[in-house]
Chains A and B, each alone.
Chain A
Amino acid sequence: MPSIEQTFTLQVPSSTVNLAMIREFVARVGGMAGFGENDVAKLELAVDEACANVIEHAYDSDTTKQVSVRATFDDEQIQIEIIDRGRGFDPSSIPQQDLDQLIAQRRSGGLGLRLIRTIMDDVQYQIVPGEKNELRMVKKIRKP
Chain B
Amino acid sequence: MPNAFSVNRREEGSVVILSLVGFLDAHTAPLFEKAIGDEHTSGRNEIVADCAGLTYISSAGLGVFMSFLEEIREAGGDLKLAAIIPKVYQVFEVLGFPALFDIAPSVEQALVNFSNGIRGGE
Chain A residues within CB distance 8 Å of chain B: 16-17, 19-21, 23-24, 38, 41-42, 44-45, 48-49, 52, 55-56, 99-100, 102-104, 106-109, 111-112, 114-115, 118-119
A20: nearest chain-B partner, CB-CB: B3
Q: Of A21, A41, A55, A112, which is within 8 A of B59 by CB?
A: A112
Taking a contact as CB atoms under 8 Å apart, the answer to whether A52 and B95 are in contact is: no
21 contacting pairs across A/B (C-beta < 8 A): A16-B27, A20-B2, A24-B2, A38-B87, A41-B90, A52-B58, A99-B95, A99-B96, A100-B121, A102-B66, A103-B100, A106-B70, A108-B64, A109-B63, A111-B59, A111-B62, A111-B95, A112-B58, A115-B58, A115-B91, A115-B94
Taking a contact as CB atoms under 8 Å apart, the answer to whether A108 and B63 are in contact is: yes
**Most chain B CB inside 10 Å of its own CB: which residue of A21, A23, A111:** A111
- B84 → A minimal CB distance (Å): 14
Interface size on B, residues (CB 8 A): 29
- A126 → B minimal CB distance (Å): 23
Residues of A within 8 A of B63 (CB): 108-109, 111
Residues of A within 8 A of B56 (CB): 23, 44
